[in-house]
Amino acid sequence: MLKRPTSRRKTGNQQISLNLVPILDTMVTLIGFLLFTMSFLTLVSIESPFPEANSADVAKKLKEKPLQLTVSVREKDTEIWSPFELIPAKTIPNPIPGQPDIRAIHEALVGVKQKFPHENKVVIVPFPGATYDVLVSTMDTVRVLEPTDPPIFVKNEKTGNDEPLKLLFPDVIFGNLLGDS
């Protein structure tokens, strides 16, 4: 009587097929969850504190006479000035009424920063009809140094090395929140 062939010989040509259906179910569920919960809108923010002043601060300012760089955005032009006249006032006409010349303002502010590299504050005084779009673009142009701008170096007190600045005037304050201008 012949021996029965071993089962190993039979399995030699059989292909094992992996059951991918549960993995597929998981993938589809995961994609659905990610699509449902993810935000396609990338939001960024610009922070600004409410201006606060008391008599002691005012007295200190009158004594020290800081730069207090101010950018007054008006309907027809934009003025860059200092209340204590530490810089000559510069008026930049708006190419379109209500739309300031962002490029020219930025270049003027880079010049101010080169003279006052340690100054970080800027006061923005927009006219009441300025749109939110104008506010955001003005805040951007006064805050951010662009790669094409000339490098401005400041000595790091800790390391003693000169380091390039990344921001222009990052601390933005609105100057006419209480006024009627």
Partner 1 sequence: MPFYRSISSRRSRRRIKDGFDLQLTSMMDILVIIVVFLLKSYAVSTNAFTTVPGIKLPLSVSPDVPPDSLQVIITPEGMTFENQRILDFVQTASTAGTDEANYSFKPVDLGEGGRRIIPLFDALTKAREKAEILRSKSKARDAEGKPLPFEGILAIQADKRVNYDTIRRIMYTAATAGYRVFRFLAMKRET
Q: Which residues of the shown chain bind partner 1 in the complex (CB under 8 A)?
A: 17, 20-21, 23-24, 27-28, 30-31, 34-35, 37-50, 52, 126-137, 139-140, 143-144, 174, 176-178
Q: What is the DSSP letter of 74?
A: -
State which residue, 30 or 58, has the beta carbon closest to partner 1: 30
CB of 14 vs partner 1, minimal distance in Å: 13
State which residue, 31 or 58, has the beta carbon closest to partner 1: 31
Instruction: Report which secondary-structure segment, H or E, holds 162.
Output: strand 162-164
At residue 92, the 3 state secondary structure works out as strand
At residue 171, the 3 state secondary structure works out as strand
d(CA 126, CA 177): 10
Query: What is the token pair recorded at 172?
Result: 């933005």
CB of 85 vs partner 1, minimal distance in Å: 26
CB of 124 vs partner 1, minimal distance in Å: 10
State which residue, 65 or 95, has the beta carbon closest to partner 1: 95
Cα atoms found within 13 Å of the Cα of residue 27, Cβ hemisphere only: 5
State which residue, 46 or 58, has the beta carbon closest to partner 1: 46
Query: What is the token pair recorded at 87?
Result: 């810089």
CB of 120 vs partner 1, minimal distance in Å: 15
